[in-house]
């Protein structure tokens, strides 16, 4: 619990506006480190579990990002033809199917080295971290 509080304080402290690209990259790395600490704490991963979990999780995130980027499109529905809109919808279904398959594959891999209960808690922990991060960003913007 103490690690969680420290991580949340650090999230707030690191979210001030950073103008340069190098500083933005540094901020992204700090946020990733805070996410690791937060999820590790929430899942109560042992050092042995962490050693196995994080490389697999990072690979999972990279593959998920690759799938999402493959289907990423700037959509302005007001100027698109109906067949383009339909294709966009079917592409979205295909992307979601690929992500579901990816989640199933990684669930099978992860359950070999961490408890199923911890895997179930993972998504909730990711959502909680993201909510807290957004909250801190909004608070930092209002303080300016």
Give the pLDDT confidence of 52-75 residue by residue, as tens digits. 999 999 999 999 999 999 988 767
Residues 71 and 88 reside in one and the same domain: yes
Residues 31 and 78 reside in one and the same domain: no
Residues 20 and 57 reside in one and the same domain: no
64 vs 75: CA distance, rounded Å: 21
57 vs 138: CA distance, rounded Å: 28
CB 110 within 8 A of CB 119: yes
Domain span holding position 134: 1-45+114-144
Residues 53 and 104 reside in one and the same domain: yes
Residues 70 and 97 reside in one and the same domain: yes
Percent of the chain with pLDDT over 70: 85
Residues 109 and 51 reside in one and the same domain: yes
Residues 17 and 51 reside in one and the same domain: no
Residues 61 and 26 reside in one and the same domain: no
Task: Extract the residue ranges of the chain whose pLDDT is less than 50.
Answer: 6, 16-18
60 vs 74: CA distance, rounded Å: 25
Residues 57 and 33 reside in one and the same domain: no
| Global confidence as pTM | 0.75
CB atoms within 10 A of CB 7: 21
Closest CA relative to residue 36, chosen from 10, 70, 17: 10
Residues 77 and 27 reside in one and the same domain: no
Number of domains forming the structure of the chain: 2
Residues 56 and 102 reside in one and the same domain: yes
């Amino acid at each position: 619990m103490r690690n969680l509080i420290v991580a949340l304080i650090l999230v707030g402290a690191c979210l001030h506006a950073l103008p340069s690209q190098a500083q933005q990259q540094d901020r992204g790395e700090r946020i990733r480190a805070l996410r690791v600490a937060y999820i590790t704490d929430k899942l109560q991963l042992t050092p042995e579990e962490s050693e196995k979990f994080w490389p697999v999780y990072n690979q999972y995130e990279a593959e998920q990002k690759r799938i999402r980027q493959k289907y990423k499109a700037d959509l302005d529905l007001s100027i698109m033809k109906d067949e383009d809109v339909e294709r966009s919808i079917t592409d979205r279904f295909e992307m979601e199917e690929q992500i579901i398959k990816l989640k199933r594959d990684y669930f099978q891999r992860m359950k070999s080295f961490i408890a199923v209960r911890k895997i179930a808690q993972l998504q909730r922990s990711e959502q909680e971290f993201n909510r807290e991060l957004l909250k801190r960003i909004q608070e930092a913007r209002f303080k300016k």
